[in-house]
Structure 1
Amino acid sequence: MSLLPVLAVLLSAQVAISDLYARRVSNRWLLCVGMVAVGGLLWMWAVRGAPFPGMHLAGAVVGLAALLPFYALGWMGAGDVKYFAVLGLLLGMPALLPIWVVSSLLAGTHAGCVLLAPSLRTTLPLRVQWLHARAQEQWQARPFVRQIHASRQGRAGIPYAAYLAFATVGFIAYGTYGASS
């Protein structure tokens, strides 16, 4: 496995943890990995004689352009958009469509569950509703749950960057281990 997919997996692990925990994507990590990727691509092209990294550069531009309208509409955070652009730089433009499809299916399933849960809860027997409310109170009282809520600083929503990270790791694993079967 070359350097760029390894960087993508490492970045994906950091982004998934950060997005699930605090609903944040670190600009510092994105910038550092992006700079290493650009340096590595330019070095491979200029020194080692590899082909011009046009698909990687196009991947960054397409990744940014594809999700930017969703940020402009307020449906997505800026970190999600920047992370997708860095993934395009790391893995090239052909990787973006399968990663986007899988992550969108995961996020759509999550959103569907969030939207359906309140209406399903009212159809449960009263005893089950009471047990659910009691369990919810006990769960919210736990210190680590309060710490997670404090770290999110009121940010709510679907952790789309985490779903992009899961899809990225799956894409790389399938390309490395599953495609040869």
Structure 2
Amino acid sequence: MTVLGLLTIAVCLRIAISDLYARRVPNAWLLAACALALPVLVAGQFQAPPLPWPMHLLGAVIGLAALLPFHAIGWMGAGDVKFFAVLGLLLGWQALLPVWVVASLVAGVHAVVALGARQLAAHLPMRLQLQVDRASAHWQAHPAARCMQAARQGRHGIPYAAYLAMAAIGWVLLNTHGGAA
């Protein structure tokens, strides 16, 4: 596995945990990933074969440009956009489409399940609705749930950066172990 592959996995794990728990993508981790990736790309020019740095820089630009319109219309957080650009830098532009497709499919399933659960709840028998409400209230009163809600500071939505991270880890592992081109 390459240094960039290891760096990608490490950053993706941290981003996935943060996005799932607090619905945040820490800028410090994104900057650290860039600060570590750029010297690796420069040093890669002195090895045989040289690391294709233009593919990585183009990946960062394409990653930013591809998701920026979704942020502009309010469908996506800025952290998701910045993280996708960092993934482009770490993995190169050729990884962006597969990572985006997988993450978007998983996010779509998440949305369908969330909306379906709301619709289903409205059609449950009253006794079952009361049990679901009690279980939900019990969970919301749990200290772990309260800590998580406090960390989210009212942010809701689908943890898209976490899904991008999981897809990127899959990309790295498939490419490391010969599953993809």
Instruction: Please tell me the TM-score bracket, short chain as reference.
Output: over 0.9
- SS class of match (1:127): helix
Q: What amino acid is the match of 1:48? A: Q
Amino acid at match of 1:162: A
User: How much does 1:177 deviate?
Assistant: 2.6
2:30 and 2:86 in contact (8 A); partners too:
yes
Structure 1 position 135 matched with structure 2 position 119: no
Residues matched between the structures, number: 179
Note the C-alpha offset of 1:176: 2.1
For the pair 1:31 / 2:53, whether they are aligned, the reply is no
Q: SS of 1:157's equivalent? A: coil
Aligned mates of 2:176, 2:52 — CA distance in 1: 23
2:120 alignment partner in structure 1: 120
TM-score relative to the length of structure 2: 0.95
Match of 2:47 in 1: 48
1:10 equivalent in structure 2: 10
Instruction: Using the TM superposition, give the Cα deviation of residue 48 of structure 1 relative to its aligned residue in structure 2, in angstroms.
Output: 2.9
TM-score normalised by L of structure 1: 0.95
- Corresponding position of 2:158: 158
> Structure 1, unaligned stretches of length 5 or more?
none
Q: Specify the code of the residue in structure 1 equivalent to 2:134.
A: R
Cross-structure match for 1:179: 179
Asked whether 1:21 is paired with 2:21, we answer yes
Deviations 1:127-174 (A, max 9, x none): 211110110010101001000000111111111000001111111122
Provide the rounded CA distance (Å) in 2 between the counterparts of 1:52 and 1:165: 22
Identity fraction in percent: 54
Deviation at 1:59, TM superposition (A): 0.4
Rate the CA distance shift 1:52–1:164 in 2: closer, same or farther, 3 A.
closer
**Runs of 4+ in structure 1 displaced over 6 angstroms?**
none
Task: Report the Cα distance in structure 2 between the residues aligned to 1:174 and 1:124, rounded to whole angstroms.
Answer: 43
